[in-house]
Amino acid sequence: MLALLVVCVVGAQGVSAVHGKVVDSKGAPIADVIISGSRDPSGQGSTSIAKTDTQGNFTLTFPGKVMHFLKVGYEPKMVVITPRATPQQYQLETASEDFTLRPCDKIAQHEKAFGDNDLRFSGNPKEFVSASAVPDTDFLKFGLQPKGDTNALEIWLGHFAMDIEPEDELLILAENFSARNILAQGKGAVGIDTTGTRAGKRWRHWSISGRGGAFYQNATEVEAKVFDGIIATACGDLEPQQEKAKKKGMDFPPTTQ
């Protein structure tokens, strides 16, 4: 898990390049780490992307407000950028506390399912009020609210339902945060699970690339315990739709006669 790290860069925020080196816990350089800057406001990806060389060095030309570090076998790292500073050394931790996504089993009689076997969450309906699903062209959204409460866990399902990483502002305003990989059996890392606090309240952004995820914020410890319990039920079959169709002797996308 990683703690909040703030880095400073010379010049105006979101403009100056960041030069740095990525190392492991023993100080050895790590090659081929992917570093990306803030997401473009248009939603068309990151502001800038770089990769470390054999000595772990990199230059990120347009970092924006937050840098993101990804490398197979290591925990994801996010770094908030502030003005005025010098080249930095960034340490990645070996992945050890990942969230493992399990295949979906038959749901228990006393539980209610949200989603399908591509990605599904479940919970005891006696513990919360579930809002009706809100459909959209690209996603499906559920709101799960503990009974007698006003806060809610949001469940987003669909290919374009959620970004894999939290919005910059959530990280910038956090008192602390941490991130870990979401793993699927035989698939490796398929998503990122990020948690943090702001003004003494908890938030969590749990997302799988191309499937969706869950999100809550401004949660008390009691609320977070309920929300985390629902997220812990996450299960899914992440086999690509093309492969599923092929096994069934079908075309994907379906052809029309």
Q: Cα–Cα distance between 24 and 199 in angstroms, integer?
A: 32
Co-location of 195 and 132 in the same domain: yes
Co-location of 168 and 233 in the same domain: yes
Give the global pTM: 0.83
Beta strands 112-116; 188-198: pairing state: unpaired
Per-residue CA distances from 108 to 104, 124, 130, 190 (Å) = 11, 9, 17, 26
Co-location of 119 and 27 in the same domain: no
Co-location of 151 and 180 in the same domain: yes
Confidence of residue 124 (pLDDT cuts 50, 70, 90): confident
In a domain, 155, yes or no: yes
Co-location of 85 and 103 in the same domain: no
In a domain, 1, yes or no: no
In this model, does residue 26 exceed pLDDT 80? yes
114 CB burial (10 A radius; 0-12, 13-18, 19+) = buried
Co-location of 103 and 228 in the same domain: yes
What would the pLDDT profile of 66-106 be if each residue is shown by its tens digit? 999 999 999 999 999 876 555 689 999 999 889 999 999 98
Provide the percentage of residues in the chain whose pLDDT is more than 90: 54
Lowest mean pLDDT among 40-49, 153-162, 239-248: 239-248
In a domain, 252, yes or no: no
Co-location of 56 and 157 in the same domain: no
Peptide bond preceding 253 in cis form (omega within 30 of 0): yes
In a domain, 226, yes or no: yes
In a domain, 19, yes or no: yes
Identify the domain containing residue 86 by its residue range: 6-91
Confidence of residue 257 (pLDDT cuts 50, 70, 90): very low
Tally of structural domains, the chain: 2
In a domain, 246, yes or no: no
In a domain, 250, yes or no: no
What would the pLDDT profile of 227-236 be if each residue is shown by its tens digit? 999 999 999 9
Co-location of 133 and 57 in the same domain: no
